[in-house]
């Protein structure tokens, strides 16, 4: 296994992904499992691999990820964010491509907390005039 790698953290909602990007050809793993076993939905698989496809680095690199929190969609977004940051750190040319695609910006949207006296975050009680 290669000893030099680029380490970054990607986040989305409450998901956090610790990404190690290696320069050589190897096996991509997520939480110790093959990425195909961990991410089974094809649309989420594409989301996770978007940064590598844009930079045309899919064949020359592999990565290892530890991801936790939230659901599978947010985890795929966190992996993509972490990969984007790692690629941008590795090469300045990649940074322009990824920034134009909006992959370096952290999506800060989270679930709004429930407020007291309400059913949900914004939904109030049913009101009747009579």
Using one digit for the tens of pLDDT, what is the confidence trace for 121-130? 999 999 999 8
Which fold is adopted by the domain 6-100? Ribosomal Protein S5; domain 2 (3.30.230)
**CA separation for the pair 119, 39 (Å, rounded):** 34
Task: Parse the chain into domains and list their residue ranges.
Answer: 6-100
Which of 57, 50, 99, 59 lies closest to 78, judged by CA?
50
Pairwise CA distance, residues 55 & 72, whole Å: 24
pTM of full prediction above 0.85: yes
Mean pLDDT, residues 25-43 taken together: 94
Q: Report the distance separating Cα 25 and Cα 67, nearest Å.
A: 21
For the chain, what percent of residues have pLDDT higher than 70?
98
């Amino acid at each position: 296994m290669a000893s030099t790698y680029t380490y970054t953290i990607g986040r989305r909602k409450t998901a956090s992904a610790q990404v190690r990007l290696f320069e050589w050809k190897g096996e991509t793993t997520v939480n110790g499992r093959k990425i195909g076993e961990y991410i089974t939905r094809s649309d989420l698989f594409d989301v996770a691999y978007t940064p590598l496809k844009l930079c045309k680095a899919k064949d020359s690199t592999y990565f290892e990820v530890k991801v936790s929190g939230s659901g599978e969609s947010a985890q795929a977004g966190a992996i993509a964010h972490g990969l984007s940051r790692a690629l941008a750190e590795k090469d300045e040319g990649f940074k322009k491509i990824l920034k134009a695609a909006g992959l370096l910006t952290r999506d800060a949207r989270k679930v709004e907390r429930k407020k007291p006296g309400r059913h949900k975050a914004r939904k109030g009680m049913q009101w009747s005039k009579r």
